[in-house]
Amino acid sequence: MPDLKLFAVSFLFLIEFAWEPLTAADDAEVARLLPQMLEGEADPLDFERVFAHVAFAGLDDALAASVVKRARSVSKIEYATEREILRSTAAALVIAWVDQIVDFYQARLPWPLGERVRQVLDLAAKHTTGVVLWATPTDTRGCLGSAALAARAKANANPSEADLAGALLRLDFEGRGSALLETSDGTGLALDALHYALGGDPAAIDKASIVRNPKVWVAAARARDPFGDDQLLIASGLDGQGLGRAQRVELTQNTRYWGDRNQYHATYYGIDTVVDSDAIPAMSVMPLDAARWRYVDDLLVAPV
4-30 pLDDT, tens per residue?
444 454 444 444 456 789 999 999 999
Binning pLDDT at 50, 70 and 90, where does residue 102 land? very high
Amino acid 241 reads Q
Does the global pTM surpass 0.85? no
Q: Is the pLDDT of residue 113 over 60?
A: yes
Q: Is the pLDDT of residue 162 over 80?
A: yes
Binning pLDDT at 50, 70 and 90, where does residue 262 land? low
pLDDT over 70 percentage in the chain: 74
CA atoms within 13 A on the CB side of 201: 4
More reliable by pLDDT, 54 or 268:
54
β-bridge partners, 1: none
Q: Is the pLDDT of residue 164 over 80?
A: yes
Q: How far is it, in rounded angstroms, from Cα 247 to Cα 284?
A: 10
CA distances from 10 to 7, 158, 247, 296 (A): 5, 36, 20, 15
More reliable by pLDDT, 85 or 231:
231
More reliable by pLDDT, 107 or 21:
21
Q: Is the pLDDT of residue 147 over 80?
A: yes
Amino acid 251 reads L
Q: What pLDDT, on the 0 to 100 scale, is given for residue 272?
A: 41
From 48-62, 187-201, 270-284, the region with the lowest mean pLDDT = 270-284
β-bridge partners, 271: 253
From 244-253, 264-273, 274-283, the region with the lowest mean pLDDT = 274-283
Q: Is the pLDDT of residue 187 over 60?
A: yes
Contact 272, 254 (CB under 8 A): yes
The mean pLDDT of the chain is 79
Q: Is the pLDDT of residue 253 over 70?
A: no
pLDDT (mean) for 176-184: 93
Burial 147-168, CB ≥16 within 10 A → b, else e: bbbbebbeebbebbbbbbbbbb
Tell me the pairing of strands 247-258 and 266-275.
antiparallel
Q: How far is it, in rounded angstroms, from Cα 212 to Cα 189?
A: 10
Amino acid 71 reads A
